Amino acid sequence: MTRRWKLASALLLAALTAGAQTAPQNGKPQVTREPFGKTAGGEAVDLYRLANGRGMEAAIITYGGVLVSLTAPDRNGKFADIVLGCPDVACYEKQTAHFGGLVGRYANRIGGAKFALNGKEYLLPKNNGPNTLHGGPKSFDAHMWTAKPRQDASGAAVDLTMVSPDGEEGFPGKLTVKVTYTLTPANELRMDYTATTDRDTVVNLTNHAYFNLAGQGAGSILDHEVAIYADQFTPTDSTQIPTGQLRSVAGTPFDFRQLTRIGARIDQNDEQLKTGAGYDHNWVVRKGQQPLVKAAEAYEPKSGRVLEVRTTEPGVQFYTGNFLDGTIRGKAGVAYARRSGFCLETQHYPDSPNHPSFPSTTLKPGAEYRTTTVYAFSAR
């Protein structure tokens, strides 16, 4: 990266991180495009800044479809960037935490790095012990995406598209993907995912944002309170692959049916917590009458910020940043320590292709993969 690109990226991140309080509040959604440096291969990366006219802003880059920053107001109307992330493209290319990225072709883990479809076994790269994580070493958040901005009554939006060729990371079928980020006037970040294929394949997409509602870089998330509206979770084996069982959360550290402090039970002597070094599990979202179901909620007591998660997906992976270790220096030079961010990743269950009893992730030619997740923000 040239000195000029580095300076531009640094100035842009400084504006995203420190300038949130002066965001325009003119009532009109706006989309702007800015340079965000270049990849190691020389590809120019653009940043699209979505503003909803009420002070909220979301910034997305064309490398990895990454959500670089997201501002939200506290109970006093003060805005802060609440997602962890990197200061430049080089950091995003190097890190493996998947900060804010669009991950696929299969989000989460596939056991033994293989699955069978139509009687044929497909071998995948092992990048998480014996398993495949987030689709392999070149997850979709390591791809360049094509962007098309738009703004209308629904809000400020950017459509991102990419094509994953047949056989990439071992998965069958040419997969054409579109993800739309929309920042609405109601202080919601909406993500609409669609995909089509020319051969039978499996697909499971999500966004891997790490949240800290006190502000990115504000320290531990253990005092946040979280509710997950699920009566069951999918316990895992020693390599974090589901056993196939749906286990009741009742009487376990996994009972978040009411707002509960994240740190209240995270270090209990529980085999499942030991396996994930904390929470890193899939919860079975309760089915509702409407397609969009309220799956989870998070609350940060000092700021009063509230995150509500609504989704059409059957599961949500709650991850408490257990494997962050301070080696990644993020925005404003902050070293992201263990449990300094949490994820609520809406998706199908891990390893579904190897568990016929789980909701299917198979996509066939002529059909369309379609899911929606909304992150809604407020304060109290």
| 167: CB partners within 8 A, 6+ apart | none
Q: Is 34 a catalytic residue?
A: no
Do 107 and 133 contact (CB within 8 A), yes or no?
no
pLDDT (0 to 100) of residue 177:
98
Residues contacting residue 238 through CB under 8 Å, at least 6 positions apart? 275
Task: Indicate whether 74 belongs to any domain.
Answer: yes
Note whether residue 58 is domain-resident.
yes
Point out the catalytic residue in the list 281, 313, 345, 348.
Answer: 345
- Together in a domain, 18 and 153: yes
What lies within 8 Å, CB to CB, of 221 at 6+ separation is 211, 212, 213, 214, 262, 320, 321, 339, 340, 341, 342
Give the pLDDT band (50/70/90) at residue 11: very low
Q: Is residue 40 part of a domain?
A: yes
pLDDT-above-90 percentage for the chain: 91
Whole-prediction pTM value? 0.93
Is the distance from CB of 379 to CB of 303 less than 8 angstroms? yes
- The DSSP element (H or E) to which 91 belongs, if any, is helix 89-94
DSSP state of 329: B
Per-residue pLDDT of 223-250, as tens digits, reads: 999 999 999 999 999 999 999 999 999 9
Question: What's the CATH number where 159 sits?
Answer: 2.70.98.10
Taking residues 160-181, what's their average pLDDT? 98
Q: According to the model, what pLDDT value does residue 153 have?
A: 85
Looking at the 3D structure of the chain, how many domains does it have? 2
Catalytic residue, from 98, 134, 208, 224: name it.
208
| Residues 103-161 pLDDT 10s | 999 999 999 999 999 999 999 999 999 999 999 999 999 999 999 999 988 999 999 99
Q: Would residue 35 count as lying in a domain? A: yes
Q: Is residue 211 part of a domain?
A: no
Residue 204 maps to a domain: no
Q: What is the CA radius of gyration of the chain?
A: 20
- Residue 73 carries which side chain, given as an amino acid letter? P
Q: Which helix (H) or strand (E) holds 14?
A: helix 3-18
Catalytic, 345? Answer: yes
Q: Which domain does 192 fall in, by range? A: 3-104+139-197
- The answer to whether residue 129 sits within a structural domain is no
**DSSP letter (8 states) at residue 123:** E
Average pLDDT value over all residues in the chain: 94
- Tokens representing 115 are 């699955």
Work out the average pLDDT over 357-368: 98
DSSP assignment of 218-272 equals S---TT-EEEE-EEEEE-B-TTS-B-S--EE-TTSTT--SS-EEGGGSTTSS-HH
- Residues 52/187, Cβ–Cβ less than 8 Å: yes
Residue 116 lies in a domain: no
Same domain, 190 and 231: no
**What band does 8 get if pLDDT is binned at 50, 70 and 90?**
very low
45 and 189, same domain (yes or no): yes
CB 221 within 8 A of CB 341: yes
Same-domain status, 309 and 223: yes
CB atoms near residue 289 (< 10 Å): 5
Do 167 and 281 lie in one domain? The reply is no
At residue 290 the predicted structure's pLDDT band, cuts being 50, 70 and 90, is confident
- Indicate if the alpha-carbon torsion angle 256, 262, 265, 267 is positive or negative: positive
Task: Report the SS3 class of residue 211.
Answer: strand
Q: CB within 8 A of 289, min separation 6: which ones? A: none
Give the C-alpha separation, 138 to 125, whole Å: 10
* Spatial distance between the Cα atoms of 62 and 24, rounded to a whole number of angstroms: 24
